[in-house]
Each structure stands twice: as structure tokens, then as C-alpha cells.
Amino acid sequence: MQYPFQELDDITLIVPDVYQVESLPALRNKSFPFGKYVIARTAQGNTLNVDRRLVVDNFLIPLESYSALRVFFDSVRAGDEEQIVLKTTGATARK
């Protein structure tokens, strides 16, 4: 790594009235000696919030820790690719 870094994302989406959240992925909270990854998704009414925090606080990682580093970034990728499932409410969209 060239330097320690953080990615902090707080995203709010308004879901159209014709949809509602059917399921959200579970909270992911992974800590490793060189970083931390947390992603939480919440829904209230038609408002969807995604809070994501990726922290890499060590940039000198020994070669023998490569497999743990790979597991960490694989976990980040898997968490980022999880999907929120929406279903239709049966209401008609307003035009």
C-alpha cells in the first residue's frame, strides 16, 4: 500500500412508492490487523440508507500476511456486491 486511507460512504436513497424493501443484507463488521470494513444497510419507510466504512491503517504489510490481506479485500468485495431486494407493492406509479 502506498499510504493508509479511509473510504467513508453514507448513501441515502428514496425508493419509489411502488416498491418496498423485502430484504437487506446483514451487517458486515470485519477487523484485521491492518484495517477494518463495516457496511450497514437500513430501511425506514421508503428511505434506504447504506453506511460503508473501509479503513486501511497500515501500509507496510509483510509478505507472510498476504493471504490475510487477500481475505480482507475479498470480504470487502463480497460486502460491496451484496444486493438489497425490493418487491412491488401493487400500487400504481404516479405520472
Domains of the chain: 5-88 (2.60.120.1130)
Q: How far apart, in whole angstroms, are the C-alpha atoms of residue 94 and residue 27?
A: 34
Q: What is the pTM of this model?
A: 0.82
* Average pLDDT, integer, range 38-54: 95
Using the predicted structure, report yes or no on whether residue 11 has a pLDDT greater than 90: yes
What is the tens place of the pLDDT at every residue in 51-84? 999 999 887 788 888 898 899 999 999 999 999 9
